C-alpha cells in the first residue's frame, strides 16, 4: 500500500548569499526588513526528495506547508512549481512570528500531520539563519513517530523507509516504519529548477490558509532571547621571528 | 587586488551568485512591477544563469564552445520556445515574460543567451506563419532544442538594405532551387534548421519569400567560422546555397510574404537582443559598484570619490530608464498596438546604446583590471557591442522611427 501523502515543511530564511546581515541597534535580533528572503536550501532538497518519491510512484500526493507571514506564500508557490500538489499556509505574523521558534513550528507541523493523516513528513535538516536543527526532531517526538534525520539517501520499502544518515562517524543506515519524519541533508539530491510550464501550472494549485489557533496550537514561547551580538571583530595577529619566540609568547598569554 | 587562477573562478562564481540576489534586491530591482509569476520566471532564470552559465562564460568565450548541452538543459526548463504555443511544445508566454527571462539569463552569458533568443525567434516564425504540417514537423524539436535554428537574411551585398537581397529561389515542379549566399549567420554550420529569405519574385520586398532549409540538404554548405570580438560561444558562418533543392512544402506563408515574416520576427528579436544588453549592463553596474567599494586609492575606497559616485548614479539611472522603455515596448508588441514597431525600434536603439555605455564605463572604473580577461566586465562589453549592429543597425532603427513620425498617420 503506497503512502497517501507526504508533507514537506518549508522554512523561509534570510538569504545565504546576502553580504551584510546587521544586528539591530537594541540587540534584540537581526535586521530582517528589506533583506531578501527565500526558501531554505535544505527545504529545497526536502521538496525535491518528496517530488522524486511521487514521480517514482511511492506516494500519491505532496503537500507543501509553511508557517509565517504572507511572504511565505512565495516559498510555497516555488515548491508548487517544483511539483508539489497543494500548499498550506499557516499564518503567523507580528510578535508571534518574532517569538516563533522550533517548538512552536513543530507543534503546528505535528498537528497538521495528524489532521491530514500524512504518512511522511520531510523537512530540511536545519534553517540556515538560526541553524537550530530541532524542528524535525521535535515534530517526531510530538507525534511519537520514528525519525530519520540528516538523510543522504531515502528508499521506501513497503511500509518501511530505509534512511542512510550522515553522522560524525560516517554513514548510518536505519529502517524505520511509517508514518515517519525525515530531515534532508545536503547530499540527498540536487533540487531541480522549476520549469516555465510548471511555474504556470503552480498558479492554479491551491494554497489553503489557516491559523495556529485552528490547530489548537499555543504559540507562547518558553524561550526568551536576551541579547544578540555580532561575533567579536577579528584582532590582528602578532608576528614573531623564531619558534622559541612563538612558544614564549604562547606561554606568556596563558595559551600553553 | 590580484587573485591567482584558482581563487579567481571561485571569486567570480561567488560574486555572480551574490550579484543575482542583490540584483533582485536592490534599488535597481529588476523585479519591480512584475507579477508573482514573472518573478518566479525571473528567479528561476537567474538561478540557471548563475549556476549553469556564469561559471563557464569565460571558457566558452575563450575556447569558442557552442554549449549544446547547457542550452538543452535550458530547453528542458521551457527556454527553447518561450513565446511559441504550447500545443507544439512551447511555453506560450508573453513578450514581457520573454524579455524578463533573457535579461536574467544574460547575466550568466550574453553570447549564449543571444543565440537562444535567435533560436526562439526562428521557432516563433514557424509557429506563427507555418501551416499545421510545418509547425508539427519543426516546432517540437526546436522547443526541446533537439534541433537548433538559424535566421538567414543578411547577404554579403545586403545588410541594412535587406530588401535588396539577391539569393534566388526558382520554382521547378515541387521544389525551389536556391542559389546565393548569406553572411554572418549565427549558428551557421552547427544548426539544423535554416530560415532563409530568398527571392521568388521581382525586385524589392514583395518579391521575397521565406523557406525552411534543413541541414544536409544537397547544395547547402558553409563558409569558414568567423573570428569575432565577442559572441564567441556561437559559431558565425556564411551559408552558401548552390542549386539547393528545397521542397515547396517548406515555404512559410505565401510567396512574397517572406520579407514581412522576416520583419515581424525581428520586432521580437529586437526586444530580445535589447534584453540581453540590459542584463549585461545590470551585471556590470553591480560589478562596478562592488569594485568601487573594495579598491582603495589615495588612502580611501574609490566609492568615496564624488566623480565615481556621480558616474555610478548616471549608469544606474540610464539602466532603469532602459528597462522601463524596453518593457513598455514588449507590452506594446504583445498587445499588437499600432505603435509597437516604432517602440521596438526605439527600445532596441536606446537600450543597446545606453547599456553598451554602461558596460564600458564599468570597465573604465575597474582601471587596468577591467582590461584583463580574468575579470568578467570586459566580456560583457565585447559581447554586447554587436547588439548595436545586428537585428537592424541602430541607424536603421532611426530610419524606422523617423518614417513612423513623418508618415501621414504619424
**What distance in Å separates the CA atoms of residue B63 and residue B46, rounded to the nearest whole number?**
24
Measured between CA atoms, the residue of chain A closest to residue B83 is A196
B46 in the Ramachandran plot: left (φ > 0), alpha (ψ -120 to 50) or beta? alpha
The whole-number pLDDT of residue A98 equals 82
Burial tier of B372 (Cβ tally within 10 Å: 0-12, 13-18, 19+) = exposed
B21 touches chain A (CB under 8 A): yes
Does the distance separating the beta carbons of A196 and B78 come in below 8 Å? Answer: yes
Measured between CA atoms, the residue of chain B closest to residue A203 is B37
Disruptive mutation site among B15, B40, B98 for chain A (greatest number of A CBs within 10 Å)? B40
Q: Which residue of A19, A77, A195 is in closest CB contact with B77?
A: A195
**What distance in Å separates the CA atoms of residue B1 and residue B3, rounded to the nearest whole number?**
7
**What distance in Å separates the CA atoms of residue A124 and residue A104, rounded to the nearest whole number?**
16
Q: Give the ranges where A83-225 is alpha helix by DSSP (H).
A: 94-99, 102-115, 135-143, 196-202
Contact A80/A61 with Cβ under 8 angstroms?
no
Strand A37-39 with A61-68, pairing: unpaired
**Minimal C-alpha gap between A55 and chain B (Å):** 17
The whole-number pLDDT of residue A35 equals 72
CA neighbor of A11 nearest in space, from A115, A147, A92, A123: A123
CA neighbor of B194 nearest in space, from B119, B248, B91, B270: B119
Q: Which residue of A74, A195, A200 is in closest CB contact with B76?
A: A195
Torsion sign over Cα B396, B397, B398, B404: positive
| Statement: residue A18 has pLDDT above 70 | no
**What distance in Å separates the CA atoms of residue B363 and residue B376, rounded to the nearest whole number?**
9
The whole-number pLDDT of residue A256 equals 83
Q: For residue A91, which phi and psi values (nearest 5 degrees)?
A: -80, 120
Higher pLDDT, A176 or A28: A176
The whole-number pLDDT of residue A19 equals 57
Q: Which residue of B25, B40, B79 is in closest CB contact with A78?
A: B40
**Minimal C-alpha gap between A194 and chain B (Å):** 7
User: Count of CB contacts below 8 A, A vs B?
Assistant: 53
A238 touches chain B (CB under 8 A): no
**What distance in Å separates the CA atoms of residue A247 and residue A85, rounded to the nearest whole number?**
63
Chain A residues whose beta carbon lies within 8 Å of the beta carbon of residue B77: 193-196
A21 touches chain B (CB under 8 A): no
CA neighbor of A128 nearest in space, from A47, A217, A16, A6: A16
A31 touches chain B (CB under 8 A): no
Q: For residue A251, which phi and psi values (nearest 5 degrees)?
A: -65, -45
The whole-number pLDDT of residue A29 equals 85
Provide the angle, in degrees to the nearest 10, between the axes of the packed helices B258-294 and B340-365.
30
**Minimal C-alpha gap between A50 and chain B (Å):** 20
Chain B residues whose beta carbon lies within 8 Å of the beta carbon of residue A15: 21
CA neighbor of B374 nearest in space, from B1, B108, B5: B5
- ipTM for the whole complex: 0.81
Q: Which residue of A19, A199, A200 is in closest CB contact with B18?
A: A19
Does the distance separating the beta carbons of B76 and A196 come in below 8 Å? Answer: no
Chain A residues whose beta carbon lies within 8 Å of the beta carbon of residue B22: 18-19
- Which one is catalytic: B52, B155, B354, B391? B391
The whole-number pLDDT of residue A9 equals 76
Q: Which residue of B22, B25, B78 is in closest CB contact with A197?
A: B78
Chain A residues whose beta carbon lies within 8 Å of the beta carbon of residue B36: 74, 77
Per-residue pLDDT in tens (0 to 9) along chain B, 410 residues: 333 333 333 344 444 445 555 554 555 678 888 998 999 999 999 999 999 999 999 999 999 999 999 999 999 999 999 999 999 999 999 999 999 999 999 999 999 999 999 999 999 999 999 999 999 999 999 999 999 999 999 999 999 999 999 999 999 999 999 999 999 999 999 999 999 999 999 999 999 999 999 999 999 999 999 999 999 999 999 999 999 999 999 999 999 999 999 999 999 999 999 999 999 999 999 999 999 999 999 999 999 999 999 999 999 999 999 999 999 999 999 999 999 999 999 999 999 999 999 999 999 999 999 999 999 999 999 999 999 999 999 999 999 999 999 997 65
The string of DSSP letters for B278-292 reads HHHHHHHHHHHHHHH
Contact A42/B1 with Cβ under 8 angstroms?
no
B293 touches chain A (CB under 8 A): no
Disruptive mutation site among A18, A71, A78, A199 for chain B (greatest number of B CBs within 10 Å)? A199
Label residue A231 by pLDDT band (50, 70, 90): confident
- How far does CA B256 lie from the centroid of its chain? 27
**Minimal C-alpha gap between B407 and chain A (Å):** 41
pLDDT digits (tens, 9 = 90+) for A26-67: 988 888 777 777 888 999 999 999 999 999 988 899 999 999
Does the distance separating the beta carbons of B91 and A197 come in below 8 Å? Answer: yes
**What distance in Å separates the CA atoms of residue A67 and residue A233, rounded to the nearest whole number?**
35
| A69 C-beta neighbours (distance < 10 Å), count | 15
Measured between CA atoms, the residue of chain B closest to residue A17 is B18
**What distance in Å separates the CA atoms of residue B333 and residue B327, rounded to the nearest whole number?**
10
End-to-end CA distance of chain A: 63
Does the distance separating the beta carbons of B36 and A74 come in below 8 Å? Answer: yes
| Statement: residue A20 has pLDDT above 80 | no
Name A151's Cβ contacts closer than 8 Å, sequence gap at least 6: A49, A163, A164, A165, A182, A183, A184, A185, A188
Record the cell numbers describing residue B41, joined without a space.
520566471
Does B136 qualify as catalytic in the annotation?
A: no
Q: For residue B150, which phi and psi values (nearest 5 degrees)?
A: -130, 150
Chain A residues whose beta carbon lies within 8 Å of the beta carbon of residue B76: 195
Q: Which single residue is written with the C-alpha cell 560524525? A: A168
Does the distance separating the beta carbons of A17 and B21 come in below 8 Å? Answer: yes
pLDDT digits (tens, 9 = 90+) for A128-168: 888 889 999 999 999 999 999 999 999 999 889 999 999 99
Contact B249/B131 with Cβ under 8 angstroms?
no
Does the distance separating the beta carbons of B79 and A199 come in below 8 Å? Answer: no
Q: Which residue of A19, A36, A193 is in closest CB contact with B48?
A: A193
Record the cell numbers describing residue B36, joined without a space.
508573482
Amino acid at each position: 500500500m503506497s503512502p497517501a501523502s507526504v508533507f514537506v515543511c518549508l522554512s523561509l530564511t534570510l538569504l545565504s548569499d546576502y553580504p551584510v546581515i546587521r544586528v539591530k541597534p537594541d540587540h534584540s535580533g537581526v535586521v530582517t526588513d528589506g533583506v531578501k528572503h527565500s526558501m531554505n536550501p535544505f527545504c529545497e532538497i526536502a521538496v525535491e526528495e518528496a517530488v522524486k518519491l511521487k514521480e517514482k510512484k511511492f506516494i500519491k500526493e505532496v503537500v507543501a506547508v509553511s508557517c509565517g507571514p504572507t511572504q511565505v506564500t512565495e516559498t510555497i508557490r516555488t515548491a508548487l512549481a517544483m511539483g508539489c500538489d497543494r500548499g498550506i499556509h499557516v499564518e503567523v505574523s507580528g510578535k508571534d512570528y518574532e517569538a516563533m521558534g522550533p517548538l512552536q513550528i513543530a507543534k503546528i507541523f505535528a498537528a497538521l500531520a495528524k489532521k491530514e493523516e500524512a504518512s511522511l513528513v520531510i523537512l530540511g535538516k536545519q534553517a540556515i539563519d538560526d541553524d537550530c536543527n530541532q524542528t524535525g526532531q521535535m515534530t517526531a517526538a510530538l507525534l511519537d513517530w520514528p525519525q530519520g534525520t540528516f538523510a543522504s539517501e531515502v528508499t521506501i520499502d513497503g511500509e518501511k523507509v530505509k534512511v542512510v544518515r550522515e553522522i560524525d562517524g560516517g554513514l548510518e543506515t536505519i529502517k524505520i516504519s511509517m508514518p515517519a519524519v525525515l530531515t534532508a541533508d545536503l547530499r540527498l539530491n540536487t533540487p531541480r529548477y522549476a520549469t516555465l510550464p510548471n511555474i504556470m501550472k503552480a498558479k492554479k494549485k491551491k494554497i489553503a490558509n489557516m491559523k495556529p489557533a485552528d490547530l489548537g496550537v499555543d504559540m507562547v514561547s518558553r524561550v526568551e532571547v536576551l541579547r544578540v551580538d555580532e561575533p567579536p571583530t577579528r584582532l590582528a595577529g602578532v608576528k614573531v621571528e623564531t619558534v622559541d619566540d612563538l612558544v614564549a609568547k604562547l606561554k606568556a598569554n596563558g595559551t600553553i | 587586488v590580484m587573485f591567482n587562477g584558482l581563487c579567481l573562478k571561485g571569486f567570480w562564481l561567488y560574486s555572480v551568485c551574490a550579484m543575482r540576489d542583490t540584483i533582485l534586491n536592490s534599488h535597481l530591482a529588476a523585479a519591480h512591477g512584475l507579477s508573482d509569476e514573472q518573478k518566479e520566471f525571473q528567479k528561476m532564470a537567474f538561478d540557471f544563469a548563475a549556476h549553469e552559465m556564469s561559471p563557464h562564460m569565460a571558457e566558452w568565450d575563450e575556447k569558442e564552445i557552442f554549449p549544446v548541452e547547457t542550452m538543452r538543459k535550458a530547453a528542458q526548463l521551457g527556454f527553447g520556445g518561450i513565446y511559441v504555443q504550447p500545443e507544439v511544445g512551447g511555453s506560450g508566454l508573453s513578450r514581457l515574460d520573454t524579455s524578463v527571462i533573457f535579461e536574467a539569463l544574460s547575466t550568466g552569458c550574453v553570447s549564449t543567451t543571444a543565440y537562444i533568443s535567435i533560436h526562439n525567434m526562428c521557432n516563433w516564425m514557424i509557429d506563427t506563419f507555418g501551416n499545421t504540417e510545418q509547425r508539427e514537423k519543426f516546432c517540437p524539436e526546436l522547443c526541446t532544442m533537439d534541433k537548433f535554428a538559424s535566421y538567414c537574411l543578411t547577404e554579403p551585398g545586403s545588410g541594412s538594405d535587406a530588401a535588396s537581397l539577391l539569393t534566388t529561389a526558382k520554382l521547378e515542379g515541387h521544389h525551389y532551387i536556391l542559389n546565393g549566399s548569406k553572411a554572418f549567420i549565427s549558428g551557421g554550420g552547427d544548426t539544423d534548421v535554416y530560415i532563409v529569405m530568398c527571392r521568388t519574385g521581382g525586385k524589392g520586398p514583395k518579391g521575397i519569400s521565406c523557406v525552411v532549409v534543413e541541414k544536409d540538404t544537397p547544395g547547402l554548405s558553409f563558409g569558414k567560422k568567423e573570428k569575432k570580438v565577442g559572441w564567441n560561444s556561437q559559431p558565425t558562418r556564411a551559408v552558401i546555397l548552390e542549386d539547393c533543392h528545397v521542397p515547396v512544402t517548406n515555404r512559410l506563408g505565401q510567396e512574397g510574404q517572406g520579407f514581412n515574416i522576416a520583419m515581424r520576427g525581428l520586432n521580437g528579436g529586437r526586444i530580445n537582443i535589447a534584453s540581453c544588453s540590459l542584463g549585461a549592463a545590470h551585471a556590470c553596474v553591480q560589478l562596478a559598484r562592488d569594485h568601487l567599494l573594495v579598491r582603495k586609492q589615495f588612502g580611501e575606497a574609490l566609492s568615496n570619490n564624488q566623480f565615481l559616485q556621480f558616474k555610478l548614479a548616471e549608469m544606474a539611472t540610464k539602466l532603469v530608464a532602459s528597462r522601463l522603455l524596453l518593457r513598455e515596448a514588449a507590452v506594446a508588441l504583445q498587445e499588437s498596438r499600432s505603435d509597437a514597431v516604432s517602440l521596438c525600434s526605439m527600445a532596441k536603439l536606446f537600450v543597446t546604446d545606453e547599456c553598451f555605455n554602461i558596460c564600458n564605463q564599468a570597465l573604465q572604473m575597474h582601471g587596468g583590471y577591467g582590461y584583463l580577461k580574468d575579470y568578467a566586465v570586459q566580456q560583457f562589453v565585447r559581447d554586447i557591442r554587436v547588439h548595436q549592429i545586428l537585428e537592424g543597425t541602430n541607424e536603421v532603427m532611426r530610419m524606422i522611427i523617423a518614417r513612423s513620425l513623418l508618415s501621414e498617420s504619424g
